[in-house]
Amino acid sequence: MLRGVLILTFTELRKSNSAFLNRLLRRRIKARDRPFTFTKFSRLQILIVLISAVMSSPLRAEIIELHSGQKIVGEIIEKQDDEIKVKTLLGVNITYYQDEIKTILPDEPIKQEIQEIDESEVLTKETIEQDQKTKKAFDEHLTRGLFYYNSGEGVKAIREFQEILQLDPTYADAHFNLGIIHGESGDYEKAMYHLKLCVELNPASAESYFNMGVIASARKNFTQSITYLKEATSLNPLYVEAHYNLGITYGMLREFENAKISLLRVIEIDDFYPKAHYNLGVVCGALKQEEEAILNLNLAIKEDPEFVEAYYNLGITYAAIDDYHQARDVLKQAIILDPNHAKSLFNLGVALGTLDQKDEARPLFEKAQKLFLAENNKLMLNKVDEILTKLY
């Protein structure tokens, strides 16, 4: 009996590592309306205003304490799954991501915070003016950096974010954005440098760990990638992209049991996550769990009826359990979608040959042979030669 060649198609698995970097950057790089880091004199000025505002304002006020140790006083005016928007007592709207927030305190601690002011501190006009100039410069660099990035001018964007760090070296988001831009341009060394600084400043930044994992994988350091991705999922258990890439990376290392666990977690979080069922089907096929593989690959085809690799993997899974009639039908569909899909041509030839349809199989083998030759795929060329010699 002829046997097809089971080629696990990890192209789609691997492809997402670079794709996610771009996708995350588009979603995440932005101004985070972060309060500027003022000197102690201007902080006193703000707190004096806050005292007045707390005593006169009827609004409910809270203290948002960040992992960085910073505290923001104001009213939460909007709350979403991954971020909150706070209106400070100065009337400024500030957005914070949940991974930045350590705790939210009720209004009682505000008085305690105010009492911590050192009344011996003295404001000077020069200090206030300098702080205002610095804040204005900070905002201008941030605005320009985001504009340049969105305009595709990465070099100019990098320059603006570097200027921000000159003004405020503790601004973690500047390091994050620099890491993303360098990562997108392929400068992984600089990307890792800035992302590591970001997690030093903000240890709860799951997105930084995620992107470090993506970059480590792009550098073929899959073991390190797994470490970073696991940290991302630890910080954010619902971080579906991190679970997905973790499954991909385990698959690249052929740790299929762990890959399956991660991909099942993806589907648990989001049953319609792109390519999750497909990759789970590939992994189950590698584990010889054909029934689960067939189920998930059919779901992948249902999600995307033109997904050639899903048809291909489904076909070779049917062949693995000797159901060559089903394998034939599915592989024919793959070739309809992509007439030059060499692996499908070869395995369809195997299925037809096994079903004693040798005349139909021969042109498929010959076409696959030409395609494998163009790809310089010596392994598959040898397989084709062996079968052609045996059958004809």
Structure confidence by residue, pLDDT tens digits, 200-230: 999 999 999 999 999 999 999 999 999 999 9
Kindly indicate the confidence band of residue 91, based on its pLDDT and cuts at 50, 70 and 90: low
Residue-wise pLDDT tens digits, 22-47: 333 333 443 443 433 333 333 333 33
pLDDT score recorded for residue 328: 97
Kindly indicate the confidence band of residue 135, based on its pLDDT and cuts at 50, 70 and 90: confident
Fold of 40-117: SH3 type barrels. (2.30.30)
Kindly indicate the confidence band of residue 133, based on its pLDDT and cuts at 50, 70 and 90: confident
* 68 neighbors 202 (Cβ within 8 angstroms): yes
pLDDT score recorded for residue 106: 66
Per-residue pLDDT for 116 more than 80?
no
Of all residues in the chain, the percent with pLDDT exceeding 90 is 59
Residue-wise pLDDT tens digits, 231-285: 999 999 999 999 999 999 999 999 999 999 999 999 999 999 989 999 999 999 9
| The pTM of the whole model exceeds 0.75 | no
pLDDT score recorded for residue 384: 92
Kind and range of the H or E run holding 95:
strand 93-97
| Closest among 103, 123, 112, 106 to 44, alpha carbons compared | 123
Phi, psi dihedrals of residue 340, rounded to the nearest 5° = -110, 25
| Closest among 303, 309, 352, 307 to 327, alpha carbons compared | 352
d(CA 283, CA 287): 6
Mean pLDDT taken over the chain: 80
Phi, psi dihedrals of residue 90, rounded to the nearest 5° = -95, 0
Residues in Cβ contact with 373 at an 8 Å cutoff, skipping those fewer than 6 apart? 381
Kindly indicate the confidence band of residue 369, based on its pLDDT and cuts at 50, 70 and 90: very high
Kind and range of the H or E run holding 87:
strand 83-88
pLDDT score recorded for residue 97: 74
| Closest among 82, 92, 105 to 24, alpha carbons compared | 82
Cα distances from 272 to residues 9, 91, 267, 355, in angstroms, run 20, 41, 7, 37
Burial profile 67-83: b = 16 or more Cβ within 10 angstroms, e = fewer: bbeebbbbeeeeeeeee
pLDDT score recorded for residue 19: 33
Give the pair of three-digit tokens for residue 383. 């397989």
Amino acid in position 63:
I
Of all residues in the chain, the percent with pLDDT exceeding 70 is 76
Kindly indicate the confidence band of residue 127, based on its pLDDT and cuts at 50, 70 and 90: low
pLDDT score recorded for residue 15: 28
Average pLDDT over residues 361-390: 93
Average pLDDT over residues 165-194: 92
Per-residue pLDDT for 7 more than 50?
no
